[in-house]
Structure 1
Amino acid sequence: MNYDIIVIGSGPGGYVTAIRAGGVASKMSKGIEFLMKKNKIDVILGTAKVQKGKKVSVTDKDGKVTEYTGTHIILATGARSRELPNLPQDGKKVIGYRQALSLPEQPKSMIVVGSGAIGVEFADFYNTMGTKVTVVEFLPNIVPVEDEEISKHLEKSLKKSGIDIMTNASVESVDTSGEGVKATVKTAKGNIVLEADILLSAVGIAANIENIGLEEVGIQTDKGKVLVNEWYETSVPGYYAIGDIIPTQALAHVASAEGITCVEKIKGMHVEKIDYGNIPGCTYCHPEVASVGLTEKQAKEKGYELKVGKFPLSASGKATANGNTDGFIKVIFDAKYGEWLGCHMIGEGVTDMVAEAVVARKLETTGHEIIKSIHPHPTVSEAIMEAAAAAYGEVIHI
């Protein structure tokens, strides 16, 4: 069979790419399968491998191999939990994030190695259910990509909720010979042994690029990622790659945007390149964390003179009424031109508020324009305006 576009993969990058290639759908709630049918997309179940000549061979569950030809081949095979040599996953006592989603029973205790978004989200989830959780982080701060003040506040909040957190620490080895696991943890004060029912390895992801034919076709990779140009074409014309398998932020919304951009470029549409400096990041724990742009440290390192403003949610009438005052909004502006360099939030519902900063930065909005944009009262979102006002010494409510 011959196709105009073949997409390998059906995650957030793959299915969105396929839909954009077929026409955009409006009702996501009815399921991806419905969307595929609506957009006249053939879904072929099996294991795919790219071939030379813009061909894809698919092996089904019975071992039957069928070959398909496409004018354009898009790789969207995603990623999996990264395994470290000293933390081999057996899927039972030492697990990755996929197993953490479907454990047969709730563990009484858990060690979480890594405190990025995945590690923190699972630590918070299991802690909320009553599991005793210990987080081990190699770096000095949890959620290390976030602004340092956000990191410190989140650590304080998670500890208050009952989670034990060890930073500047690393798991050297794991013993699974007994009923549970024993993890030897290296700290500044020496090695200690932690015991738990289960150890969750959340130390990042590894791209799914093995055994999909890259070497045979001649598609270049580097450090476990597929190399692409600015329009996501690989080193071999007609073959493209998007999402977690290329060296960009491994986020669902990034993969979706890349897929749409890739297809629109293929179709000859006028396309704007993705601004990877304006990608929002969200961590769905309690309290939530959301951010976009530069951290204060990054902005200083780039040589900017800054105006930084913060507004505590404890001063927000709506947050107080909701009973969720844990957190704050932090905004960072360039003192010279007023450019909105970064926005960092921690608190209930902030993952729904960060889009304001994303859009404003896209439109090159300045600090004073945010201050003069009337926000509704009472809402938590007006804390963004208040934080901007604080940056310029104009705040009223604190």
Structure 2
Amino acid sequence: MATQSFDMIVIGAGPGGYVAAIRGAQLGLNVAVVEREHMGGICLNWGCIPTKAMLRSSEVFHLMHRAKEFGLKAEGIGYDLDAVVARSRSVAKQLNGGVGHLLKKNKVTAIMGEATLPAKGKVSVKTDKGTQELTAPNIIVATGARARELPGLEADGEQVWTYKAALTPKHMPKKLLVIGSGAIGIEFASFYNTLGADTTVVEVMDRILPVEDAEISAFAKKSFIKQGMKIMEKSMVKKLDRAKGKVTAHIETGGKVEKMEFDTVISAVGIVANTENLGLEKLGARIDRSFVVTDEYCRTGIEGLYVIGDATNGPWLAHKASHEGVMVAELIAGKNNVHPVKPEAIAGCTYCHPQVASVGLTEAKAKEQGRQIKVGRFPFMGNGKAIALGEPDGMIKTVFDAKTGELLGAHMIGAEVTELIQGYVVGQKLETTEEDLMETVFPHPTLSEMMHESVLDAYDRVIHI
């Protein structure tokens, strides 16, 4: 095959790669994107999107059980796990097709195959028709990441699952162990627990959802225990004994090992970047624990080679990857005034029940930086809309710099907080102060009023508690 030349080649068509490709094409570049598996990457096919579809099913199931509270009747409530999974897969399929359509519409050349980087500015793609050689002065690596597997705790797809098997379960777990309580672990624990699995979560750190503010973690733990989950913190699964129909987990807590039996285990102990076998090291890229080291503009130090999304520095979130994709495409196209993506400006959302969302510094981090702070809190119980919705459990917490009034961080738990958090994200981007937020008129009755009250509380002006 003849060598094809482009202005920009993107390796990986997840939320980082396909967005970079589209933005590059919009700016007049001749762009190719290489994808080895699915358009839309893990996020659309096996991550963010299908998990939300499944969590929506469990949320509706949970509400059906509460029908009486709302003056409604629902009898013989049940679920069909295969149908729940089928709906989730069809949502993913629809979006996967949508990405292909968007690439076509923007005249991006899409190539299905496995890419390697044999030399600077060169990409070799193994396709089912043979090997295709591509060249471009600018290459973006957006190869994403996969589930980390710990020795002895490897997934087998039958009894021990990672996210893929958990999204297409062959059976409904009766007794479930979830290893790891980050967003992925907690979302699966929440889904299966709501559908009736006896669920235990083991976390090696001193609290679940360890990246969240400590108060939010504590609130989440209380909620999950109330829902019947068992939570084991400062604990480690040392090994799994697999036998027919059961898995015995050896769980160490405070030096003591306890044996517990489960029929299903979900491992959610972090991620490993898909950076091997590409030829990155040979080109001189620096790799730290599988992740490629880049500067704030995703540059590797090798001319024309950029790495975005989960293959580089965290936070490992789809929306961060997309923004980095846009930023790098604009850099390549020679746009002026391109701003780097700031990690502290990226919100994190966990779609468990209750939802968790946050942006910026936790109270502990702000204190660690030696800042004087003002902290405000407001409970869902004090909000009319939350009570009308039948969702009185939750809180909103805001952290301000006492000297300047800068909004340093916001942390929430409760109904629909994954949608609410964006208000604070926009506020931070516009460099808002407590005064701006206090003078903003929030509509009534809405959950967003709690965002206002939390700010008022930080300055001893709260009205409704």
Q: TM-score higher than 0.5 here?
A: yes
**1:97 maps to what in 2?**
163
Unaligned runs of 5+ residues in structure 1 are: none
Partner of residue 110, structure 2: 43
Question: In structure 2, do the counterparts of structure 1 residues 246 and 102 end up closer, same or farther at CA, with 3 Å as the change threshold?
Answer: same
| 2:452 aligns with one of 385, 395, 398 | 385
C-alpha distance in 2, partners of 1:388/1:49?
51
1:345 aligns with 2:412: yes
Match of 1:251 in 2: 317
**Deviation per CA, 1:221-264, whole angstroms, max 9, x where unpaired?**
12211122232122321111100111121000000011110110
Q: Report the equivalent of 2:432.
A: 365
Aligned to 1:11: 14
Q: CA deviation at 1:300?
A: 1.1
Aligned twin of 1:305: 372
2:320 alignment partner, SS class: helix
Residue matched to 2:278: 212
Structure 2's unaligned 5+ residue stretches are: 28-94
**Under a length normalisation based on structure 2, what TM-score does the superposition of the two structures give?**
0.82
Return the letter of the residue paired with 1:34.
Answer: H
User: What is the aligned-residue RMSD (CA, Å)?
Assistant: 1.6
- Consecutive aligned runs of 4 or more in structure 1 exceeding 4 Å deviation: none
- Residue equivalent to 2:260: 194
C-alpha change, 1:29 and 1:319, in structure 2 (3 Å) is farther
Aligned to 1:152: 218
Find out whether 1:285 has 2:339 as its counterpart.
no
How many pairs were matched up? 395
Deviation at 1:189, TM superposition (A): 6.5
Residues 34-73 of structure 1 mapped to structure 2, 5 A cutoff:
34-61=101-128, 64-73=130-139
CA spacing shift, 1:29–1:386, aligned 2, 3 Å: farther
Question: In the superposition, relative to structure 1, how do residues 54 and 177 fare at CA in structure 2: closer, same or farther (>3 Å)?
Answer: same
Aligned to 1:118: 184
Amino acid at match of 1:395: V
Q: Higher helix fraction: Structure 1 or Structure 2?
A: 2
**Pairing partner for 1:140 from 194, 206, 209:** 206
Aligned to 2:303: 237
Q: Is the 8 A contact 1:137 1:167 kept in 2?
A: yes
Post-superposition shift, 1:382? 0.7
Structure 1 distance, partners of 2:19, 2:312, is 17
* Structure 2 residue 234 is matched with structure 1 residue 168: yes
TM-score, normalised with respect to structure 1: 0.96
Quick check: 1:227–1:235 contact (8 Å CA) kept in 2?
A: no
Letter of the aligned partner of 1:12 in structure 2?
A: P
Aligned CA distance change for structure 1 residues 21 and 97 (closer, same or farther; 3 Å): same
1:38-60 per-residue CA deviation (whole Å, 9 max, x = no partner) reads 01111111111112041111112
Task: Give the secondary structure class of the aligned counterpart of 2:101.
Answer: helix
What per-residue deviation string (whole Å, max 9, x for no partner) do you get for residues 294-314 of structure 1? 111111111111211110001
Larger mean CA deviation between 169-178 and 228-237 belongs to: 228-237
The DSSP-based 3-state class of the residue aligned with 1:263 is helix
